[in-house]
Structure formats: structure tokens, C-alpha cells
Structure 1
Amino acid sequence: MYQFTRLFGAARIPTENGCLMQTDEKARHVVVMCRSQFYWFDVMDDNSDLIMSEKDLVHNLQAIMHDAMETPIQEAARSAVGVLSTENRRVWAGMRDHILNHEDNTNRECLQIVDSALFVLCLDDSSPESLAEISTNMLCGSSVIEKGVQVGTCTNRWYDKLQIIVCKNGAAGINFEHTGVDGHTVLRFVSDVYTDTILRFAKTIHGGSPSLWASVSPDPAKRDPESFGNVSTTPHKLEWTMVPELSLGLRFAETRLADLINQNEFQTLEFEGYGSNYIKTMGFSPDAYVQMAFQASYYALYGRVECTYEPAMTKQFLHGRTEAIRTVSQEVVDFVRTFCEDAPAKAKIDALKAACERHVQRTRQCSKGLGQDRHLYALYCLWQRGILDEGCASPSVDGYVSGEEQEVPFGSPGGQSMISEMSATASTGSGRAVARDIPAIFADSAWDKLNTTIISTSNCGNPALRMFGFGPVSADGFGIGYIIKEDSISVCVSSKHRQTKRFVDTLHSYMQDVRYLFKQLNRKVVSPSTTKAREAETRQAAAPLKTPKGKEIITKMASGTSSPSESDGEGGMLGGYGYFDVGSLNKLLSEKEEEATAGQQVTTRRSIGRKLPLADY
């Protein structure tokens, strides 16, 4: 519950000595961004009760959009101060100091309004269509240059706060600052919004339908305006004073941001062949199963395993955040090698089961706080603090070092290794002191490898979300966000142009291939037909039953599922390089079924008519 105090009214503030989380408990207003312009208005009174009805909000947002559209694109680009929140944290800290200490109070007041807002609502004037385009827009915005001016949505952001992003075509998402909260906290917020939206719609049909917050806050439309107190419900535009230093910093921040956006790509997969229900019937943990899919897909493309990260929640502890699950184990290595070899189907499935069981064990250990990453990092921070106390130049626990050239914290994904830092500073007195006193474990190459995450993954989602993702944490890595639903699996993959689409396609093929293996090993695989009604049909009848009228029909499967024998394009994991001859397999299975039933004469009603096949799940 503690993390909810850092969800609303919170901001990540950069300073010369690192970042800090700042929360304004008296925040009663929201900031709205449209075409890189800033607006604000109050939405609650001093008692935290709502003062804006839906109609009031619509009027305010329409006024904001009309004003933003009247702003020339050149003027909007010159005042797109939000782009500064994407800058290097040390540079952004310097710009903030300049804003706060300038003799003109206008910029200081504008900055305080933004920092203290409950959240930022970003109204984008773009209409992304594909899932990949939507994911890109929610993660980093679009970079579009017209006549030398940035007109993309990337400048319509303030990344130091919780952002609710709504596109022109209604596509919506959330971009949150990860420093103060974890994904499950934001997910709870999204789930409540999604649920209340459905309940509010139901209320328009039946007035007696419940609402999540009906008993918490009175209807603002029925309140006396005098009870609102000293509030400002009319939207106000924040007009920044663009001094030369601010304009120059904004210009360089925008070009840097455009470079970063163009260096990354995002691809999505909505696998509708099966989901958690089917995975569980096969005896696997859904999360472990999907993790093995990532490992097999990467190995199939590159022939090796890499350092992989998955967060495990430690919510059972006070202020608990996460522990790092390191997916790669000996069982995982054995599995990917076996799966990508011409091994029997049973050997592949057995290897998959062993790898999944090992992953489940490790996940349980990490959830109990028994992982290794956080413990080792705590020891590393203690050593850093000791070096600082002795007056040596060394990185601080906040992620900054005394030298200007280094801004990435050691021990973080993509950060510079301690070995390389020692080499860079060996010629200095402080460098020799660091090299002499560094514990052996932090000078070992294994520590460097552990903190260079190539495959960074996270499982976060429920029916309230369609997609979830984040960027890669290393230059040659993948960032993989995934949602395991009952009948489908959604995946968002990012990388710095490392054949992301090919990785997604390989992942799709792998999950199809595993389904074929299960079908090959067990023809009586659990399917949608495994219900009480279907079980009764498979039992031998004790007495003759009445002759039915009509014919049997194929049971229509739930949306998103398809029969392995009927779905299109299901081949080997590597296309032409695959190890599964699907056509031969289906033919062989069909022939065996015909042989098993040949010559059998059944006189019960089950033999009357042609029995139609029920598609496997």
C-alpha cells in the first residue's frame, strides 16, 4: 500500500547528487498537455472530494484542445518544455536550478504547478493504428519533423510523473515513472479505472448499478458550489518565459530525444492459439512456460543463452519492491539445446518440464527475499559508501560519480562495469585506491556479466490491459513485456534494431510447435471438450439409449483459439529451418487413428451417423 503514496502528486526530481521522489499530499489539480502546451485546473476540493462532473471535464478538455490547435507549430515547438524531462538527469538538474533561481518567478511557478499535479494527462493529436505504433507512442512518443520542426508526440510528455496518454482515435495508455512505484501498483489503478468505466456504462442502462467510488465521493453535480472552497475549475495555460538558456537546452534535448527514439524499435505479438488455461492443463506454470519460450526463441536465432532478468514481487515485506529472477539455469540450457536438436518429442517436453520446474523454484525463493541480486547490490552500495567516507572519487549510491563523464550507476543494466572503471582511473591516485580496495567479487568478470542484462522481461497484466512494454536496458538487448491471459498471450518486444520482428515471429512459431509436440505425445490432450457433458459421452453406456434426432455439430470454440490442424501458417520454429514436419505428423496421426478403429462394430447409438471432430484447444 505504501507505493500508492508515490503514485499521485509525486514527481522524480533530479539533483546534482542524484534523484529524489517528491510528493505533494495537498495536490488537488491535474496538468493537461496538448501539442506540447501545458494547462491545469483543480479537480478536487480540500477534502479530496470531486468538484468536476464529466460534463465539466469535457468542456475543459475541449477548451484546452481548441487553444492548443490555435498555437502555431513553431511557437509550440519553442515552448515544449516537457522535452527537458527526457534529458540526462544531471543536465536536467542544472536546467531546473536555472529555472528555480531565475529572477523571473513565472517559470518557477509553472514548474511547481507541474511537479505538484496529481498526474499529467497527455492529449495527443495523432492516431496510431497498429499495436506496434500504439506501443511506440505510449512508450516514447513519435518523432515527426515538418519543415525542420518537431511535431511528433514525443514532446507532449512529462516523464517525471504519472502520465495518462489519450490519442485522437481513442487509443489510451499509461506511462509511469518507475522510481517510486512498480508495475503491480499502476496495474491496480488501471484495473479500477477499467472496472469503474464498465460500471458507469451499466449505470446508464440501469440506474441502480453500483459504482466503485459512489460511497467515497459525493456527486459533484449535486453539490453546492459554495462547498468547493477556494478552487479554480477553469483551465489555465502555463506560459513559460523562454530565456536563451532555456531555449538552447530545450533545442538540444529535443534532438537528443529524436535520436533515442530512432535508435529503438517496438514489435508486438497477440498470440491467440492458447493462454494460461491450456498451459495449466499441460501441467506448467504459465509464467515459467512463457519464460522458456523467450529462451528457446533467442537460442534458435543466435545459438546461445544470455543473462536474463525477470522481477519477482516482494510485497510481503515492508516497503518491498522486487528481487531479480535470473532465468538462465543449467536446466534451461539443457532445454534449449534439446529443443533445437532433432530429439524425440518426449525428450523435448521432459526438458521443458525440468526447466519450468527450476524456474518456479527460483521464483519462489526470490519472492521470499532469498535471491542474490539485491543482496549483492546492497553490499556493493556499502562498499561505495565506505569509499566516499574516505574521500575517494567513486560513484555514489544515488547513481552519480564525482567525475562529469560518468552518469550511469554501476550494477545497473547497461551500466559501465567496475572493471572498465578501474582501467579508466588506474593512472590517478583515487583510481589506484579504488583498484586496491575493491572486493574481489566486484572485480570479477562474472559480476560484470550479471549486470549486463540482454533479455529483460516483466509479466504484468490482466483483462484491463491489452499490451504492456518497456525499452531495452542494454544496447544489444531486448525489452520484453508480456501479459498472459486465459486464452491468449500478448507480448511487446523492444530493441535497438536487433531483428525485433524476427524474434517475435520466432516466438510465435515456437508456441505453435510446442502445441504440436503435446498433440503428438498425448492424443487425449485436455481440450474445450473436456467438460462433464463430454466426459459422459466417452464412457461406455450400460444400457441402450434413445436414438437421437438430427446431427452432431462442431462445438464452436471461444474467440482467439484455433485448431492446430486447421490454423494457417503453422510450421517449424525457424520456418524453412524448422525441425517439425507438420504435414507428415498430421498424416501419421490420422493414419494411426484409422487403424485403431478399423473393424470395430459398435451397436450403440454412438455409432449412428458421422461423428464430427471437436477441435483441440
Structure 2
Amino acid sequence: MLSFLARTMVKPISLVKPVSLVKLPGRYLAHQEGLPRLPVPPLQQTLERYMQVLQPIVSQEEWNHTEKLVDEFRSPGGVGERLQKGLERRARKTKNWLSDWWLQTAYLEYRLPVVVHSSPGCVLPKQDFVDRQGQLRFAAKLIEGVLDFKSMVANETLPVEYLRGKPLCMNQYYSILSSCRIPGPKRDSVINYEQTKKPPTHITVVHNFQFFELDVYNSDGTPLTSDQIFTQLEKIWNTSLQTNKEPIGILTSNHRNSWAKAYNNLIKDKTNKESVKTIQRSIFTVCLDAPIPRVSDELYRSRVAAQMLHGGGSRWNTGNRWFDKTLQFIIAEDGSCGLIYEHAPSEGLPIVALLDYVVEYTKKEELVRSPMIPLPMPKKLRFNITPEIKNDIEKAKQNINIMVHDLDIKVFVFTHFGKNFPKLEKLSPDAFIQVALQLAYYRMYSCVCSTYESASLRMFHLGRTDTIRSASVDSFAFVHAVDDPDKQNQEKVELLRKAVQAHRAYTDMAISGQAIDRHLLGLKLQAIEDLVSMPEIFMDTSFAVALHFKLSTSQVPSKTDCVMCYGPVVPDGYGVCYNPMDDHINFAVSAFNSCAETNAARLAHYLEQALLEMQNLIQCTPKSKL
């Protein structure tokens, strides 16, 4: 399978309000239309690079076989040229030749549960409240902050982001609020209700498995203040004290085909249909969670990460979610908090930029207390539970509990140095970390594996991601040389620097639309669309190995001292996400307990050792010799 957890690798963006707070209608559209279109890379270039990336991850025999298939595929007048021309025609006719295909194949046709397998979570710093009042006050301030951010989106005053002096596509910011995934029997869909004639003015709040519609705007269109929101949240809390309710939200954690069947059962009832529609239409969801079980400080962050990803199972907070909602902010009574987002509309960076903005907003002092105008009671959403729906819920409980026990996750802070150290050595911090990951994996398994790191294509109109392939000829040369007693430190450092530079070069290639993975996917999908027989290059063992990403990685940098997390994309693989701060690095490593060969804590240990060893190599080798 392709690595469907496409994520973003870009520097953190400072989102501050622009000088103009006046609505700027048309600004977004004008900006978007001015962006370049995603190119279709030259066929020969992609095929040559494909053969290069296969070298460290397949046997010589497999490589030789693939070389013959590639030569046949790229022969003049052959199937490769025909598919390439088809892609080029598609690129001329569409705003982005890849975006619709990617949305469908990577997300909407993906049938595994979005929980763990697709939706990333984010662990925010622990808040210092320890009771219900603190929880609700923080939640109210967070809601007010998101609404403030939403006003910039609605007024089209959101600052345009730039990467290396080039403007980036801002479309994802306009897709994450008021949107929801809708289950289908073979393919899901995503609806953005902000684009409808009557955009929503409410959010969903869920507590003790019970859902509420909370209007967050006054009749004159102004947003409620945090004081007013706090009052409304208290009403919700007091109305939802009973916990003996069916956890209807747990249905959204199921396999997509199972959820689609249960969904059709659920909405046969008119009341249920209206309640579901209210959740789907809401601007976002706030989950007021029960406190997570007490654990040691060492285990705390890992336990919170698991809560963000899956809610802890049927006995804890999984029923306190609607996993199809694009944005769900999670605030527990013990001060743990974060977010989980449904991945189809957006990569990680716009989500983290929103989080950075909101976290800063929550720190603002209240200058003026709001006048307490009586507000209507938030509407509790009712569900009629038939025996059939009850049965669906019980099955979903069983399935999520299996998933919860299977997820092995380790969140840790590497405290010895942060991104400042590689920068001082004139090395890319991201590339340095990626090479360390290659060394850690090699130490564990005595081989390297196909490694995915996401690269942003947001320099292009409607751009999503492509793949940076971290397992390269140069990284393999370095990790193979580290333990070679016949090699001097000077040579090892030269190989390290070469590996880091090679990764940086591949990154530059990827963000400029010249990487291989999305191009190969496009050629394959073009073949399916043209109803020609599938070319052998895509049926080859090497192609399967190349797409079996045992390391699925992502840098998601943030100004906030947080870290994103997600599950592995293959049964025998790892998910690794990291946020490099100036003097430390936050890591989240995941694996599946059902695979005897993988262990998240073990990879975390080897990763820490690899980073220290690489630092030591550089520091102990005189610069004059480099």
C-alpha cells in the first residue's frame, strides 16, 4: 500500500493577524489562481531516480529484473510514453493533475479505520488545571481562540505563507473548519459546510458520550466570549453527568465498510439523522474527557498520545469522539489536552499553525468581563438506539479494544540537543534526524528499509504531498561504515555529511514537484483509467518493496512544545513523528504489538543513541580535516 498518512515537512509559520482586519473578498481566490500548477516530471528522469532509490532496499537479483522492466516501460513509443502523454493531457485540463486522485486513493477509498491507521493526533503541553472549573475555563478560551482564527479565514485576512520566498497554497486552511467525512459503502466523501448557503454557527461538545449542539455566535453575528462559552459548557456538564449512555461515537472508530453499514442503520431514524447531521455540520468538536489513568511521569506523554489517537478504548474516552470530524479538540479533567484530526482535508502544518495560534490565544488575560446575557440551553442531541444499532456499537467496542491493545506508542524528549546543533554545523536539522533514523533502524535490523518522509507540494495550486525517500545510497554508505573498524572517523564524518546533503537535495527536488512517488502513482492510475493492462513495472516485487514503508516519518514543526503522533502504515513498520525545538527534539514512535519484530521503545532507544553518536563523531573529528 502507499503510505497514506501524508504529512507535511515545512518550517513553522508565524500566524499573526495582518494589519487589515477588514474583509478582503476575493483575496484568497486571486492568490490561489496565481500559484503555479503541479508539473508532470519527465518520464526518463523519474525512472532513473526510481532505480537509484531501489538500490539500498532490494537485492541485486531483484534490481536486475526491475531494470529490464523499466527499460521495456520507457522504450520509445511504448506504454510508458503513452501513459506519460495521458498524464500531461490531464495536467493541461485540470488545476492539479494529482489532487483529486490523491484524495480518493489515499483517503476516501482507504477502508481501514481512520483511528490509528490514518488520523494523526497531537499532544499539547499539560495544563495546570486539575478540576472541572479549570477544564471548562481552558476549553472556553480555546473555543474563543479557534473562532478568532476562523474570522481570519472567513474575512480572507489570513496571512499568506511563504517557503523560500515563494507563496504557498492556502486551500487547506479553508477546508478544515465546518467539514466532515461521510462514510460510504466503497468510498467515503468529505463535505465542507462552510461553503453552503447557510454556514454553521455551532460547534459540537461531547461529554460522557453525550453530544450537544452549542451555538457560538450571537444573533448579531458576533462570537460568544469565553465567559459566555464557559457558562454554556457548565450547563452541558451538569446535563451530562450520567455515564450510562450508549457511546454512539464509538461507531466512527470502526472499519469504514462496517461503519458505512452501521451509518445507514443509524440514520434510518429521523431523530438520529438530524443529530448526526448536526455533528457533521458543526464548525469543530470539543471532547471534554474523563481524566486519564494516573501513570509515572515517564509514561505520561505516551499515555496521552494514545488517548489522542484512540481515546483509550470502550472503558475510557473512545465513545467521547466523532472520528469523522476534521477537527476534534480534546481536553481532559487532569490537564492533558490535544487534538485528533481526520486527515482527508489537510496535512499537519495548517493544523499545527492553527494550534500554535490557539495555544497563544489561551494565554491572553481577560481584560473585560462579559455581561452575563441569558443564553439558551445548549441542545442535547438525541439518539434512538434500536437492537440493531446496539449490536453495531458492541461490535465497534470489541474492535476498538483490540486496536487499543495493539498500538505500541512511545513519546520521548531528546534533551541533549535540538535543531541548533546541526545548524551550527551547517547541516539541515531534518536531514540530520532522518539519517539518525536510518542508523537506528540499521542497528536494530542490520538492513535498511523503504522510508517515507512527507514533503509539501504547497508551492503549487492545491498541492498536497510527495515522498522524500530517506533510505538512499548515501545514507546506506554511512550506516554501513559506522561500525567498520577499518574506517577512520574522518571518513565516517564525510559519509555522514554526504548522506545529510543527499537527503537535503532529495527534499529540494520533492518540494519542487520532481520526486518519483506521486508521478509513478499517476502513471499507474492513468493505466487504470485508460483500461490498458497493468504494466509489469507496477506488478513487480521491487515496486511492492518500495511502497512497503516500514518507516513512515514526518517532521511537523511547531512553535508550541508539542508533538504529533500517528500509527504505522504497514503491520511490521513504525510511525515516527518529530518536532525539533531549538535545544531539544520531541519524538513520537509507534508500532504494533501484534508484530513480534517491532518495538517502539526499542527504536526510540536506538534513535537516541544514533543522534548522540552522530554528534560525537562530528565533535570529535577536527574540522580542519573535514
Question: Would the TM-score normalized by the shorter structure come out above 0.5?
Answer: yes
Superposed CA offset, 1:32-82 (max 9, x none): 1112111121002477530x222222222223223332x14xx32xx2111
Please tell me whether the aligned partners of residues 453 and 473 of structure 1 are also in contact (alpha carbons under 8 angstroms): yes
Corresponding position: 1:33 with 2:206:
yes
Superposed CA offset, 1:354-384 (max 9, x none): 1111101100111011111111112222222
Which secondary structure state, in structure 2, belongs to the residue aligned with residue 55 of structure 1?
helix
Corresponding position: 1:124 with 2:295:
no
Structure 2 counterpart of 1:352 = 496
- The code of the aligned residue for 1:376 comes to L
Please tell me whether the aligned partners of residues 461 and 468 of structure 1 are also in contact (alpha carbons under 8 angstroms): no
- The code of the aligned residue for 1:444 comes to D
- The code of the aligned residue for 2:266 comes to I
CA distance in 2, matches of 1:459, 1:446: 27
Which secondary structure state, in structure 2, belongs to the residue aligned with residue 269 of structure 1?
strand
- The code of the aligned residue for 1:513 comes to E
Please tell me whether the aligned partners of residues 300 and 340 of structure 1 are also in contact (alpha carbons under 8 angstroms): no
Structure 2 counterpart of 1:160 = 324
Structure 2 counterpart of 1:253 = 396
From 586, 609, 614, give the equivalent of 1:514: 614
- The code of the aligned residue for 1:64 comes to I
Corresponding position: 1:57 with 2:229:
yes
Q: CA deviation at 1:492?
A: 0.3
CA distance in 2, matches of 1:45, 1:325: 47
Please tell me whether the aligned partners of residues 28 and 45 of structure 1 are also in contact (alpha carbons under 8 angstroms): no
- Aligned-residue Cα RMSD (Å) equals 2.1
Superposed CA offset, 1:443-481 (max 9, x none): 111211122110000100222142211111110000001
Q: CA deviation at 1:515?
A: 2.3
From 604, 607, 610, give the equivalent of 1:504: 604
Structure 2 counterpart of 1:243 = 386
Which secondary structure state, in structure 1, belongs to the residue aligned with residue 504 of structure 2?
helix
CA distance in 2, matches of 1:445, 1:233: 62
Structure 1 counterpart of 2:173 = 4
Which secondary structure state, in structure 2, belongs to the residue aligned with residue 170 of structure 1?
coil
- Are residues 365 and 341 of structure 1, via their aligned partners in 2, closer, same or farther at CA, if it must alter by over 3 Å? same
Q: CA deviation at 1:99?
A: 2.7
Structure showing greater radius of gyration is 1
Please tell me whether the aligned partners of residues 309 and 327 of structure 1 are also in contact (alpha carbons under 8 angstroms): yes
Please tell me whether the aligned partners of residues 43 and 233 of structure 1 are also in contact (alpha carbons under 8 angstroms): no
From 475, 496, 514, give the equivalent of 1:332: 475
Superposed CA offset, 1:152-188 (max 9, x none): 1122111111100011111210100111111011011
- Are residues 46 and 55 of structure 1, via their aligned partners in 2, closer, same or farther at CA, if it must alter by over 3 Å? closer
From 239, 245, 262, give the equivalent of 1:95: 262
Structure 1 counterpart of 2:192 = 23
Superposed CA offset, 1:523-565 (max 9, x none): 899xxxxxxxxxxxxxxxxxxxxxxxxxxxxxxxxxxxxxxxx
Q: CA deviation at 1:223?
A: 11
Structure 2 counterpart of 1:470 = 566
Structure 2 counterpart of 1:134 = 304
Structure 1 counterpart of 2:422 = 279
Q: Identity of counterpart residues, as a percentage? A: 26
- The code of the aligned residue for 2:281 comes to S
From 61, 66, 81, give the equivalent of 2:248: 81
Which secondary structure state, in structure 2, belongs to the residue aligned with residue 309 of structure 1?
strand
Gaps of 5+ in 2: 1-169
- The code of the aligned residue for 1:53 comes to T
Structure 2 counterpart of 1:114 = 279
CA distance in 2, matches of 1:360, 1:499: 28
Q: CA deviation at 1:385?
A: 2.9
Q: CA deviation at 1:256?
A: 0.5
Please tell me whether the aligned partners of residues 353 and 558 of structure 2 are also in contact (alpha carbons under 8 angstroms): no
Please tell me whether the aligned partners of residues 126 and 153 of structure 1 are also in contact (alpha carbons under 8 angstroms): no
CA distance in 1, matches of 2:302, 2:227: 33
- TM-score computed with the length of structure 1 as normaliser: 0.69
Please tell me whether the aligned partners of residues 28 and 46 of structure 1 are also in contact (alpha carbons under 8 angstroms): no
Q: CA deviation at 1:222?
A: 6.5
Which secondary structure state, in structure 1, belongs to the residue aligned with residue 205 of structure 2?
strand
Superposed CA offset, 1:78-116 (max 9, x none): x2111111111122122222233x2x3100101001100
Q: How many residues align?
A: 441
Corresponding position: 1:484 with 2:580:
yes
Q: What does 1:393-432 align with in structure 2 at a 5 Å threshold?
A: none
Structure 1 counterpart of 2:183 = 14
Structure 1 counterpart of 2:525 = 381
Please tell me whether the aligned partners of residues 125 and 168 of structure 1 are also in contact (alpha carbons under 8 angstroms): yes
- The code of the aligned residue for 2:603 comes to F
Q: CA deviation at 1:142?
A: 1.0
- Are residues 222 and 55 of structure 1, via their aligned partners in 2, closer, same or farther at CA, if it must alter by over 3 Å? closer
Superposed CA offset, 1:319-372 (max 9, x none): 101111111110011011112333322222111101111101100111011111
- Are residues 522 and 45 of structure 1, via their aligned partners in 2, closer, same or farther at CA, if it must alter by over 3 Å? farther
Structure 2 counterpart of 1:600 = none
CA distance in 1, matches of 2:217, 2:259: 31
- The code of the aligned residue for 1:195 comes to E
- Are residues 523 and 439 of structure 1, via their aligned partners in 2, closer, same or farther at CA, if it must alter by over 3 Å? closer
Q: Which moved more, 1:296-305 or 1:53-62?
A: 53-62
Please tell me whether the aligned partners of residues 107 and 240 of structure 1 are also in contact (alpha carbons under 8 angstroms): yes
Structure 2 counterpart of 1:531 = none
Q: What does 1:202-213 align with in structure 2 at a 5 Å threshold?
A: none
CA distance in 1, matches of 2:460, 2:555: 20
CA distance in 1, matches of 2:586, 2:490: 28
- The code of the aligned residue for 1:165 comes to I
Which secondary structure state, in structure 2, belongs to the residue aligned with residue 516 of structure 1?
helix
CA distance in 1, matches of 2:527, 2:234: 55
- Are residues 224 and 499 of structure 1, via their aligned partners in 2, closer, same or farther at CA, if it must alter by over 3 Å? closer
Structure 1 moving runs of 4+ over 4 Å: 45-48, 222-225
CA distance in 1, matches of 2:192, 2:220: 18
- Are residues 110 and 519 of structure 1, via their aligned partners in 2, closer, same or farther at CA, if it must alter by over 3 Å? same
